[in-house]
Amino acid sequence: MDIANSVAIVTGANRGIGEAFVRALIGQGAAKVYAGARNAASAQHLVDEFGDKVVAIALDVTKEEQVAAAAAQCTDVSIVINNAGAFLNQRLIGADTMAAAREEMEVNYFGVLSMSRAFAPVLKANGGGAIVNVLSAGGLCAMPVMGGYSPSKFAAKAATTCIRAELAPQGTSVTALFVGSVDTRMAASVQGKKERPEDIARVGLSAIKRKLDEADTDRMVLEVRAALARDPKGHERALARMLNAESLKTGH
């Protein structure tokens, strides 16, 4: 599939990986990119930079009426980038309530499903197209330090496989894009080396062109896969020790 002359919609497009996707799409010749954000004004800087090649739209993926309105407005879309995500950094058991875990599931799983359902007919009408779901190394192995984020990404990974099967007859490719630690505001609390958002977007667009079912974007994802293949139980215990160390450090 060619990026040149395509029309895309990117959720969570106002910053981080989403903004990098907008820039990469325009850079590779996309005719138009709809930049979805909860507050459309937060993506205005992209409109100012790229003119009529970028259209900022109000899009909260947890609100079905906004998703439906986006699908009704953006009938020329051939690429859907499900990038919007939530990481609230609370424990499953240690949190005072389940509110954070519910929000992470609403954004990271149900948001992906809602967008895919709404835009499937649009993609079919435009020849099939592609969906890219931005997932996480936390969706490959359960990471206790991430609380509800990791389970929500597991759910999104499973949904991606199911959506791919359902949309195969209409010629829509559906890619699971696995991301490790990236230099974004969402990952501000994460320590260690972080990848550049523009490198993640570059791999994502390559996956679209090659119609890959899955694509790993960085070293962290590869290391997680290797650790799971080598010693899955040992990896689980190591992650549990990280949780305990963090608990000791913070007093929680």
**Cβ–Cβ contacts within 10 Å for residue 220, how many?**
20
For the chain, give the mean pLDDT. Answer: 93
Helix (H) or strand (E) holding 56: strand 54-58
> Is 109 in the active site?
no
CB hemisphere CA count around 35 (13 angstroms): 32
**What is the CB-side half-sphere exposure of residue 44 using CA atoms within 13 A?**
4
Output the pTM of the full model.
0.91
- Asked if residue 180 lies in contact with residue 224, where contact means CB atoms within 8 angstroms, the answer is yes
**Would strands 173-178 and 214-216 be described as parallel, antiparallel, or unpaired?**
parallel
How far, in Å, CA of 220 to CA of 40, rounded? 32
pLDDT given at position 250: 44
By the 10 Å C-beta count (0-12 exposed, 13-18 middle, 19+ buried), 170 is classed as middle
Q: What is the pLDDT of residues 181-223, one digit of tens each?
A: 875 555 445 555 668 999 999 999 999 999 999 999 999 999 9
Work out the average pLDDT over 223-241.
93
Taken in order of first residue, the domains within the chain and their CATH numbers are 7-226 (3.40.50.720)
* Per-residue model confidence as pLDDT tens digits over 22-76: 999 999 999 999 999 999 999 999 999 999 999 999 999 999 999 999 999 999 9
What was the pLDDT predicted at 243? 80
Token couple for 166? 């359902």
Catalytic residue among 119, 149, 154, 178: 149
- Least confident range of 65-69, 134-138, 180-184, 247-251: 247-251
Secondary structure class of 143 (helix, strand, coil): coil
